[in-house]
Structures are given as C-alpha cells and as structure tokens.
A and B are shown apart, each in its own frame.
Chain A
Amino acid sequence: MATVSLNSGLILAAILFVIGFVGLITRRNLIVVLACIEIMLNAAGLAFVVAGARWGRADGQVMFLFVLAMAAAEVAVGLALAIRFRQALGRLDIDAADEMRG
C-alpha cells in the first residue's frame, strides 16, 4: 500500500494553520475569531497525528487527544465570554472592546 509522505501531511497542517491565522486577523466577529482559533488548534493536532504516523507510534494520537481537551475547554470559556461581551457592549464586533486603546 502506497503511503502518504510526511511532507504532504505537514504541509497540509501548515496551510490550514495559516488560513486560520489569516481569518483571525481579518475578521472582526468574535464568534468567527473563536472558530479560527479552533481551526489553528485543529491544524496543530493534525501535525501531531502526522508526526505520530511517521513512526507508527501512538504518542502523536495521544497528544491530539490533549489538544482536543484543551480546545473544548477554550471554546467553552470563549463562548461564555462572547455572551457576556454581547450583554455588556451590545454587539459582537471585537473593535467594540478597544477602550484600553491597545
């Protein structure tokens, strides 16, 4: 069985990560920003799985499980913050929260 090369998997992970990053800096909707963070975490997990498949070991998949748990925790807190954001500021535009003028 012809197998996928290591490079293809890593390049796919890199492309997905960069697309997520571009979305992170170009979108202003808070929900979409959180979704883009999910894309980036997923791409990082893909890189772990590809690296684990390179050696035929289970460690890469275990690391993906930890990334998965972390992403679930992050999105729970992030969406709770989005709800409070909307209640406090009336909209979901992340530019609404620039009172510190960072």
Chain B
Amino acid sequence: MTTLFYIAGAVAIIATIMVVTRSQLVHALLYLVISLFAVAVVFFTLGAPFDAALEVIVYAGAIMMLFVFAVMLLDVRAQKPPRMPRSAWAGPVILIAVLLAELVYGITLHDHALAGGSVGPTQVSAALFGPYVLGVELASMLLLAALIGARHVAAEPTGAAAGEADAGTTGPEEAPEVPPAPEGVQG
C-alpha cells in the first residue's frame, strides 16, 4: 500500500504540473483527468474507498465533462491568450515556494502513522446522515442555488441578442432589464 501511495502521488504531481504548463487547453484538461485518477488511487491507499469512487465519478466524470462541454461550446481553438510575462509571475512563485518549504518543514516536525484499516461506505454514510445531516441539507441548497445561478448567468439574453447582432454594441450594460426569458422556464 505504501508503494502504491508513493507511485500514485508522483503521478498526481507530474500530471498536475503538466496541467499548469500545457498551452493546449484540451491537453491540459486530459492531464487534469489523469491527476484526478491518481488522487483517487491515493484515496484508496489511504483507506477511503468510498471517496476514491466518488472522486472518479464526480470529479473525473461529471466536473470534467462540464469542462469539456464548455470547451466545445466556446471554440477555444480560435484564439489562445498569450502567456503572462515571466517578470509578472516570477516574484509570486518564488515567494510561494518559500511558503511551501516552510509548510513542508512544519509538517515534518511531528510524524504520526495513519490508523491503518479502511473506513468503508457504511461508516461514512452513518456519519453523513447522523451528525452531519445539517451539512447535507446545506449542500443541497448550495447545489440548487448553483443550478439556478448557472442557468440564469449562461442564459442567452434573448431580447438583446438580435439587437446586439446588428448594433454590435456588446457594451458593459448588456441587457440590464431586457431578458424576460429566465422567469417562465425555471422547471
């Protein structure tokens, strides 16, 4: 298990570095999927098989699917934004490296072994719907708010769309009270 942990951790770190350094957006997203799979293996070796399964299903499945759909909708191939100049990010990166070194040093001051053993879905579910049931309710409300908010934000401002097409003014005040679309179709 220890060997599996280190191998999967190394894969996760390498894949995440590739996410940050690839300039092709789709390549970066594919490396992100690899990184999430590697973290799922790490969860499994830590004795959290339920979270490993959810990592694959929700993160690598649902969330990455959203990313890929956004890439399809946006036609990102047309223009790639240029990289930020090195002078802009070298300073923050050096400072954050110093902080990371401090954090790693602080972590290594005291070491503990993990408890070992595996905490299965039964115990997780008992905790989730026992003492944490209020959090589950709040998470459901958060997801509902995100659903409605995403639908409202991404909705085409139908009244203004035709006007924008010929006027060409996608100014800062696009559709202040114009969009009458989002109220009837909330179902």
Contacts and interface: CB of A to CB of B under 8 A. Distances in A.
Interface of A: 1-12, 14-16, 18-23, 25-29, 31-32, 34-36, 38-39, 42, 45-46, 49-50, 52-62, 64-66, 68-77, 79-84, 86-95, 99
Interface of B: 1-2, 5-6, 9, 12-13, 16-17, 19-20, 25, 28-29, 32, 35-36, 39, 42-43, 45-48, 50-51, 54-55, 58-59, 62-63, 66-67, 69-71, 73-74, 76, 79-84, 89, 92-93, 96-97, 99-100, 103-104, 107-108, 111-117, 119, 123-124, 126-128, 132, 135, 139, 142-143, 145-147, 149-151, 153-154, 170, 172, 174
Contacts of B82: 28, 93
Q: Is the interface of B mostly helix, strand, loop or mixed?
A: helix
A39 to B, nearest CB: 6
Contacts of B132: 62
Nearest to B22: A32
A22 B43 CA distance: 24
Given A4-B45, A56-B119, A58-B126, A49 B51 contact: yes
Given A19-B16, A52-B48, A54-B114, A76 B170 contact: no
Q: Is the interface of A mostly helix, strand, loop or mixed?
A: helix
28 contacts: A2-B1, A3-B2, A6-B112, A9-B42, A16-B13, A20-B16, A20-B20, A22-B96, A26-B93, A28-B83, A32-B25, A34-B67, A38-B32, A46-B42, A49-B43, A53-B46, A57-B119, A62-B127, A68-B58, A69-B142, A70-B139, A72-B146, A79-B69, A79-B70, A80-B150, A80-B151, A86-B74, A92-B79
Contacts of B50: 61
B127 A50 contact: no
B3 to A, nearest CB: 9
A3 B114 contact: yes
Nearest to A42: B39
Contacts of B135: 62, 66
Contacts, number: 252
A5 B114 CA distance: 6
Nearest to A10: B107
Contacts of B142: 69-70, 73
A42 B43 CA distance: 11
